[in-house]
Amino acid sequence: MKLQYKIGLSNLIVSLLFLLITGFVLIHVVRKTVYQDLDQHLYYHKNSLINQLKQSQPDEDNDFDYGVVGSQEWVNLTKWKGKADSIPPNRIKTVYLKNGNKTIEYRELSTVVSSKGQFYRAQFLESVVQWQHIIRNVFLVTFGLLLTLILLLLIVNDVQFREILKPFYNTVKRLPHIRDATGFAERFDRSSTEEIDQLHQALNRMLKQLGSFFEEQKSFIQNASHELQTPLTIIYQKTESLMSDPDISEESLVELAQIQETAGRLSRLTKALLLISKIENKQFPMNDEVCLSDMAEKIISELSDFIEAMGIDVRLNFRDYPTVKASRELINALFYNLIQNALKFSTDNGIISVTGRWGADGGYKVQVQDTGKGISPELLPVVFDRFKKPDSKWNDSPGLGLSIVKSICDLHDFGLDMESELNKGTTVTVTIPTSSIISP
């Protein structure tokens, strides 16, 4: 839930609670005031009864009522047979009396009055009905006013928050775009809101640090590449120049050739490892527009010497020729490694099919399929791991081709899947998500 909505919702809940409490208190206070008023009125009636009794005595035998149930107010007078020292105090309470099928609320004052030595119990009743209308009206008007006020406040609040949170939302909106090295140069402006300013400063510090880490790592990889490649090239070149000496013995030649092969292998290994760390550090700009089928065709022509020599039938079949947003260099490396790998697995006169089609569950699937040796099931889960090779024949070659494929796919968010059956062939499937496809 958005922060803005969260604040709005909590404001709404608090306001409604406040409104409810106010309503209850209001009803209570108004009621109490009305009752106090009524009670005072009842006492006034009592006093006027006492005065009346002084002048004329009620009928000796009969009780009498001034008024009936349903009247606004009435008095009920009965003789009281108690002693003077046990006269009960005045009692006021609310009673509900039935008039037909209507229940009417009354305030009742019961008291004992005396007239010429005779005690009477007097019950004064006064209806609350009229007042209830007033209470309801007061309540409704007040409640309505409050509700309108609260809603207005909420709207004003919302607009205000929107304005206050604007820089915050702008920052939040920018954050997802900082995903790779190009984003590390982003900086956030100072803000007049203290917290947002602190957030921006912290983000700027982190971005700066990330940027410098990235640069350090990049230059480390470059330096490592130089520092490792230079001595290897020297070894390679020196052995080659020793080998071209016509007087050298055959035993020495064999040893020199082994040195040269080892240096070559080491050089390829470091190159592959540095390539993987470069990929993992996201040092490749990923905004090229690459046509997959063109790339596959290019790689096939680059490897045509081997394809022809092995008599391999390469079948290229792409549906719709899509263009993807990716690093051209890495897509090149991806196809190169996949197709070279298929060739390595192939036996003479085999078939390699490179196909591209739309997946049933979205995305575009590029499949490289060979009819070669295949990989045993227990090795299948580890083929993408560094230094694991599916066949002991390649024991001493760096088995990094598939690791490179994996890191390229991971970087681009491509799916990667491999199926294989011994002596039947291997199928590698790369799934390109729809979001990476520019056209069609």
Partner 1 sequence: MRLLLTEDEPYLASSLKKYLGNDGFIVDSTSTIRESQKALMSEMYDIVLLDLNLPDGDGLSLLEEIRTEYPRTAVIIITARGEVEDRVKGLNLGSDDYISKPFSMLELSARINAVVRRKFGLKNNSVELDGLSVHLDEMLVKADSDPLPVTKIEYNILRYLALNRGKTVSRISLAEHIWGNEVDDRFSLDFINSHIKNIRKKLKDAGKDQLIKTIYGVGYRIDKI
Q: Which is nearer to partner 1, 10 or 223 (CB)?
A: 223
Q: Closest distance between partner 1 and the C-beta of residue 387, in Å?
A: 14
349 binds partner 1 (CB under 8 A): no
List the interface residues with partner 1, window 284-323 (CB under 8 A): 303, 305-306, 309
Nearest to 334 by CA among 308, 295, 297: 295
CA distance 391 to 272: 19
Residue 19 or 243 having the CB closest to partner 1:
243
- CA 130 to mean position of chain CA atoms: 57
Judged by CB under 8 A, the residue of 240, 413, 417, 421 near partner 1 is 240
If binding is defined by CB under 8 A, does position 386 make contact with partner 1? no
Q: Which residues contact 316 (CB under 8 A, 6 or more apart)?
A: 293, 296, 297, 300, 353, 354, 355
Between residues 129 and 309, which has the closer beta carbon with respect to partner 1?
309
**Cα dihedral 404, 407, 412, 417 in deg (nearest 10):** 90
**Residues for the chain: how many in total?**
440
> Out of 10, 241, 317, 439, which residue is the one contacting partner 1 (CB under 8 A)?
241
* Order of strands, sheet of 351-358, starting from the edge strand that comes earlier in the sequence: 313-318, 351-358, 364-370, 425-432, 415-421
Please state, as a whole number, how many other Cβ atoms lie within 10 Å of the Cβ of residue 328: 16
The β-bridge partners of 98 are 103
Angle between helices 194-243 and 129-174 (to 10 degrees): 30
277: contact with partner 1 by CB under 8 A: no
Cβ contacts of residue 86 below 8 Å, gap of 6+?
none
User: Could you tell me the smallest distance in angstroms from the CB atom of residue 264 to partner 1?
Assistant: 5
Choices 139-147, 167-175, 352-360, 395-403 (CB under 8 A): range interacting with partner 1: 395-403
d(CA 356, CA 432): 10
Under rule CB under 8 A, residue 249 binds partner 1: no
Counting contacts by CB under 8 A, is residue 336 touching partner 1? yes
Residue 405 contacts residue 416 (beta carbons within 8 Å): yes
Among the candidate windows 164-172, 248-256, 289-297, 355-363, which touches partner 1 by CB under 8 A?
A: 248-256
Interstrand relation of 91-99 and 102-115 (parallel, antiparallel or unpaired): antiparallel
| Rg of the chain in Å (alpha carbons) | 48
Q: Kindly state whether residue 218 participates in binding partner 1, applying the rule CB under 8 A.
A: no
Q: Report yes or no: 236 and 260 within 8 Å, Cβ to Cβ.
A: yes
Piece in contact with partner 1 (CB under 8 A), picked from 26-34, 42-50, 371-379, 390-398: 390-398
- Count of residues in contact with partner 1, rule CB under 8 A: 39
CA-CA distance, 108 to 288, in Å (whole number)?
92
| Stretch near partner 1 under the rule CB under 8 A, chosen from 227-235, 349-357, 367-375, 414-422 | 227-235
The span of 11-19, 107-115, 225-233, 379-387 binding partner 1 (CB under 8 A) equals 225-233
- By beta-carbon proximity to partner 1, the closer residue of 40 and 397 is 397
Site string for partner 1, 396-435 (x = CB under 8 A): xx---x----------------------------------
Residue 309: CB minimum distance to partner 1, A: 6
Binding site for partner 1 (CB under 8 A): 225-226, 229-230, 232-233, 236-237, 240-241, 243-244, 246, 248, 250, 253-254, 256-258, 260-261, 264-265, 267-268, 271, 303, 305-306, 309, 336, 340, 343-344, 394, 396-397, 401
